[in-house]
Structure 1
Amino acid sequence: AAVGSGVLVSVEIKPDRIEDFLSAMEVDVTKSRDKALDPGCLRFDLLRDRDDPNKFVFYECYLDDGAAAHHKTTSHYNAWAEFKASGGVVSQSVAKVETASLPAWA
């Protein structure tokens, strides 16, 4: 079985930059889901905090670490990277997760 690799990225976005953020993430999310563009990306979801509309979580799953690394070389990832570089992110944390150490049912 393939080793699953993933990340949970939690971000807080400046309130006046939410629309710019959503525009950038539309590119990253939709193109990450395109197997022709990002074949090792198994899942990419953008979630919004119910209690704080400025906070979001990216839930990303990849076939393996190589696929996760490839994702960061894509033009669609760059949409997020450029937004981040523009100063729209208040805070960010990343949890790297895997499934290899879990039973098959997990």
Structure 2
Amino acid sequence: MTGFTLRPPASVCRINSSAYSAGGHDVQVSLVTLKIKPDQRPRFLAAVEDNATCSVRDEPGCLRFEAFQDTTDPDTYHLVEVFRDEQAVAAHRETAQYARWAKASQEFLAKPLTVVQVRDVLPLTLPS
């Protein structure tokens, strides 16, 4: 089993608590796994923090964006992206931060990323 820890520090865990409401929405959850080039770690960390921060701050449909570092392979990262619905995902892909991410990822990815779509079976619990 692959374990993972939050990396970099908790500042990359972004939650849009004011926007979350599971009732009546088809919440879209993506689990993204990517392997980066070791020498590109600083560039990756800057890009993922930019994408996470801007997405949660500027996109009402982005409910959560987290980045985790694999504990068995420091060059493997896992992202958790939660959007209110399919329209929010489509809107995200049109943003400036997504364009910056897509451009930067061409430099830091060691191989193509993988994306798994999952369904939210328990309501998102937000910190008090």
TM-score range, shorter chain: 0.7 to 0.9
Q: Which runs of 5+ in 2 are unaligned?
A: 1-23
Contact 1:32–1:41, Cα closer than 8 Å, also in 2:
yes
Which has the larger share of strand?
1
Amino acid at match of 1:65: E
Give the equivalent residue in structure 1 for 2:90: 69
Partner SS for 1:78: helix
Superposition RMSD in Å:
1.6
| Cα separation, 2, equivalents of 1:81 and 1:55 | 17
The total of aligned residue pairs comes to 100
Q: Does 1:56 align with 2:77?
A: yes
* Aligned partner letter, 2:51: D
Spell out the pairing of 1:1-106 with structure 2 (5 A cutoff): 1-34=24-57, 37-86=58-107, 88-91=108-111, 92-99=113-120, 102=121
Dislocated runs of 4+, deviation >4 Å? none
Letter in 2 for 1:21: F
Q: Return the offset for 1:84.
A: 1.6
* Equivalent-residue separation in structure 2 for 1:63 and 1:46 (angstroms): 19
